[in-house]
Copies of this chain bind each other. A is one copy, B any other.
Amino acid sequence: MTGTPDTALIAGTGLLPALLAKARPDLLICELEGFPSAVPGATPERFRVERLVPFLDGLVARGIETVVFAGAMQRPKLEPEFFDPQTASLVPRLLGAMQAGDDETLRAVIELFEEWGLRVVGAHEIASDLVPEAGILCGDVTEADRRDQARAAEIVAALGSVDVGQGAVVAQGLCLAVESLPGTDAMLAFAADHQGLRPDPKGAGGVFYKAPKPGQDRRIDLPAIGPQTVANAAKAGLSGIAWEAGGVMLLDREATVAAAQEAGLFLWACAP
């Protein structure tokens, strides 16, 4: 890699942007104003949604060809006075997509980048070891865990069909928590608060299951699991974490597996 970068990383919060930047030091790092991405040593290019068109023009002008989205992004509050006229003309389109849910918003964003001639790829396409193949990475999965996983997968699929959330917690056949806008950590905290509802306190602890939504564009917003997920699942008294293999990124695999082993949790990438 020499000279000017040809790939931009649109970095949100969480571990993933820093891991990608470490794996690929040639990325141009960009972040949404107000949502710092915390990539060590980087001086990110900041942009605002209200000035998206000038930002896209700038990326093209400096030779960027490929764009990767990584990390969590909250929907920013839009300030009418910051819009430039061209971006303002996109507002009806963007607002319509935002009303229709996360998937539509993401699709609209990808479409816009593509209209500027930029190729949008998934984080796993530039750092392939982030997405584990099917298998049990650590711990023991019991029959009760398998039943809880199957039930959670069914719930997540139903939620995905209406474009809500990507995860659920099931213990002893009962759904303790469902993911929505506040995200995985908030859902696991909720499950921790209500873990006493398990009928048999000595029975199966339960499973947190995560999967991309059906039909989700995997180039953006692929769900991710990391050491913090393990810590939160342990606080909720769960037996382990399962996910759809190929559809979920494992952030910092070594640290995540070590944390799960330490906490006695299984990590299981389930064949879809």
Confirm or deny: A121 has a beta carbon within 8 angstroms of a beta carbon on chain B: no
Determine whether A48 belongs to the interface, using a CB cutoff of 8 Å to chain B: no
B159 touches A178 (CB 8 A): yes
| Separation of A177 and B100 alpha carbons in the complex (Å) | 17
Number of this chain's copies in the assembly equals 2
The CA of A76 and the CA of B181, in the complex, are separated in Å by 32
Q: Does B201 contact A77, Cβ atoms closer than 8 Å?
A: yes
A159: contacting residue among B158, B172, B199, CB under 8 A: B158
Contact bitstring A190-203, B, C-beta under 8 A = 1, else 0: 10011001011100
Instruction: Tell me the smallest distance from the CB of A148 to a CB of chain B, in Å.
Output: 10
Stretch in contact with the other chain, from A15-23, A31-39, A161-169, A255-263 = A161-169
Which of the residues B99, B164, B173, B190 comes within 8 Å of A190, measured between beta carbons?
Answer: B190
Q: Does B78 contact A199, Cβ atoms closer than 8 Å?
A: yes
Instruction: Select which of B173, B180, B199, B201 is within 8 A of A178 by beta carbon.
Output: B180
Q: Is the CB of A77 within 8 A of B200?
A: yes
Q: Is the CB of A178 within 8 A of B197?
A: no
Complex CA–CA separation, A87 to B193 (angstroms): 33
The reply to whether the CB of A176 lies closer than 8 angstroms to some CB of chain B is yes
Q: What residues of chain B lie closer than 8 Å to A43, measured between beta carbons?
A: none
A76 to B184: give the CA distance in the assembly, Å: 29
| A154–B158 CB distance below 8 A | no
Q: How many A residues face the partner with a CB closer than 8 A?
A: 39
* Cα distance A74–B173 in the bound complex, in angstroms: 14
A186 to B147, CA, bound (A): 25
Instruction: Give min CB distance, A42 to chain B, whole Å.
Output: 27
Contact of A175 among B100, B165, B175 (CB under 8 A): B165
Smallest CB gap from A95: residue in B: B173
Q: Tell me the A208-249 residues at the B interface (CB within 8 Å).
A: none
What B residues does A98 contact at CB under 8 A? Answer: 173, 199
With A158-B159, A186-B194 given, name 15 new contacts (CB 8 A).
Answer: A75-B174, A77-B201, A99-B147, A100-B173, A101-B173, A159-B159, A159-B178, A164-B175, A175-B181, A176-B180, A178-B178, A181-B194, A182-B193, A182-B194, A186-B190
A-B residue pairs in contact (CB < 8 Å), sample of 17: A75-B199, A77-B199, A77-B201, A100-B173, A155-B159, A158-B161, A164-B175, A164-B178, A165-B175, A165-B178, A175-B180, A177-B182, A178-B180, A182-B194, A186-B190, A186-B193, A190-B190
3 interchain residue pairs of minimum CB distance:
A99-B173, A178-B178, A182-B194
